[in-house]
Each structure stands twice: as structure tokens, then as C-alpha cells.
Amino acid sequence: MEIDAPIQRVVFSRGVDAWRIPDDGWSVIPARPRGPTPADATLAALGLRPVDAARAASGPTAEEHAREGLEGDVDPVAVAATHGLAPRLLVAAAGTTHLVSAAGALGWRAPLERLFDDPGLGTRAQRLRFLLDAMEHHAARAAESYAAAAAAARRTAALFGTRELTTLAGQTALFVELDALLSAVQRTYLGAGRLLAAAYPERRRTVPGAAVSFDALVLGTRGASADLRETLLAAWDAHGVYAAAYRRALRARDAAALGHAPVRLTRLACGIWTVSVPVPTPGRASEAPRPARGSRAQPQADALDRAWTLATDAMRVVSHVVYAAAQR
């Protein structure tokens, strides 16, 4: 992944936020702008002394760290590395955002434009581009919502002088973006399946308006290579099939809490907090039996971690389908 501007902010998984400060270090809270700001000009016009420019360029002070509940010099990048938290979002100096996954940039695009002029595939390719836009948008907003929730937890803990917070309520945007991201993932898989079916049409009887799944679309494209269909079906079985179950799990949490359920909090080193929204791990969450009383509960994973994995796989599925359709 190539980025043509310096990275000013990194959002890691679980909401750990890192802002670059002028001495090339990193801080949990952003540095003030270099030089005079419009607020400084207003103060000067009133005859008041504006903030000293050198101090403004030096990053957050010890007093600001203490007010935020942070202890000493905090390096969020080092803390993230210690706890195995992966980067999710990079923000460049120009304000552009870049999504990151284990395979590189989540926002990398297969060359869909190759198919735009195809009379049989152009419309479906353009619809699929919209779905990719939606998935990237909600992934970025979900990562930022986690960071906002972690900051709210840090300030709440500092306000009440406690280290014992375990949950935080009122994070509506976080749950909305998680649901929207998982919905976009579902629609992206389905859009890729429909593009593949249009590229390799079969004479088969269909019921207008009937629901169709990604695996059914792939199985119906007998003109596609066996290797391609096997790859797509394996991806669906390993990842895509669980998107609906995770959405149901989030809604079940909301129903049990009579609204958006609280997020879980964990305090790491030096006053950094992390956020998680537990969902059942694969084993088909919708089909998993309820644990018996006194038995161990089903293993849980974080909803955004799982959604990020699904979104990365959906991008990979789209690339397979686009290249196959372009070379048919």
C-alpha cells in the first residue's frame, strides 16, 4: 500500500487511537496546531495573550495528559504492539483515510471499470462499486466510533477517578455502523455472486422475487471454472455465511438491553482504554445451542474484528469474480 502523505493518525483495533505529535512521537490525544490559530487571533484582538506557538507545537502537556486520565508518557503505538492490536485506519496529513487489513489495504479495488462498458455486466459492475463504497465507508466510521467510545471511557474514568469501569452505555453510532458494515458485507457477497451469474448465464427456471444466496448463485454458474467456484464457496463457508448471524447477535444484545447494549471496556497501560462488542465466534452463531446452567459460555469475539475479517474476504471474493468475468 502506498500513501503519498505523512500519516498523522492511526486507529487500532479495540479503539486505541494514536496521533502523531511534532517530535515524531505518538500520543493518545492530538497535538494542537502549529503556530497561531483563528482562536489565537481572536484572543489577540481582545488584548489577551494567545497560546505560545512553541508550546502549541510541542504536543500535549503533562497537565493535559492528567486531565485525560493518562499516566506519564504514553506511547499508544507501543501499547498496541504489546497487546497485539492491529491497525485499522490510517489518516494522512491531507485528511484522506486508508483502511488496513492483514492482506494490505482493505480499500484496494479490483478493476471493476473494465466491465462498465460490457452490455451484459456494466450495470451490475456499477452496482457492485457502490456496495464497495458503502462497505469502506462504514468500516472507517465503525473504527472511528470505537476510538470515540474509548476516548469517552478514558474521560469518564478520569472524571470519577476510577480504574474499575467495565461497560459504557450510549454508544449508538458504534452499533449503527457495525450493523451497516455487516449489511454492506452481505450485499457485497451477493452483488459479486450476481455479477458472476451474469457473466456465466445458465438456462434455469427461477422464481421472480425469490430470495437467493451467494452459494446458490455460485453453484448455478456451471460455465465458470471448477477452481473458481471452489474458491468462492470455500470463502463463503469460512466467512461470508456468518455475517447474518453476527447481525442477529447484535440485535439480540440490543433487545436484551432494551436499547443499544453497553460496550465492554478494558484498561491497558498508562490509562489507555479499549472497547469491545462481544459476539459468538464461528460455529454458526445462530445454530449454537444455549450453554447449560453452570457450563462455560460460548467463546466470544469482538464484532468489529469479525466484521473486518468478513469485509476483507468480501473484497477478495470481488477480485476473483471481476478477473474471471473480464477474462471469460
- DSSP secondary structure letters along 50-70: PPPHHHHTT---HHHHHHTT-
Average pLDDT over every residue of 213-230: 94
Q: Measuring CA to CA, which residue among 275, 268, 304, 276 is closest to residue 75?
A: 268
pLDDT band at 56 (very low <50, low <70, confident <90, very high): very low
Q: Is the pLDDT of residue 43 over 80?
A: no
Segment 283-311 shows an average pLDDT of: 67
Q: Is the residue at 60 inside a domain? A: no
- Domain-embedded: residue 212: yes
Task: Report the distance separating Cα 229 and Cα 103, nearest Å.
Answer: 22
Does residue 287 sit within a domain? yes
Sign of the Cα torsion 11, 12, 17, 22 reads negative
Q: Give a yes or no: residue 54 inside a domain.
A: no
Q: Which residues contact 294 (CB under 8 A, 6 or more apart)?
A: none
Residue 82 forms part of a structural domain? no
What mean pLDDT is predicted for residues 109-138? 91
Query: Do the Cβ atoms of 29 and 91 come closer than 8 Å?
Result: no
- Long-range pairs for 152-157: beta carbons < 8 A, 24 or more residues apart: 153/265, 153/273, 153/275, 154/28, 154/68, 154/69, 154/70, 154/271, 154/272, 154/273, 155/68, 155/69, 157/69, 157/267, 157/271, 157/273
> Residue 198 domain-assigned?
yes
134 to 23, 55, 188, 195, 243: CA distances (angstroms) = 36, 41, 9, 17, 16
Predicted confidence at residue 300, as pLDDT, reads 85
Q: Please give the residue that has the higher pLDDT: either 148 or 67.
A: 148
Dist CA 140 CA 26 (whole Å):
21
> Radius of gyration of the chain from Cα atoms?
23
Residue 151 reports pLDDT greater than 70? yes
Q: Which pLDDT value is given to residue 159? A: 85
Segments forming the whole domain that contains residue 116: 112-328
Which of the two residues, 27 and 184, has the higher pLDDT score?
184
Does residue 37 have a pLDDT over 70?
no
Residue-level pLDDT at 61: 61
Per the structure block, which three cell numbers stand in for 67? Answer: 486531565
Q: Percent of the chain beyond pLDDT 70? A: 74
Domain count, the chain: 1
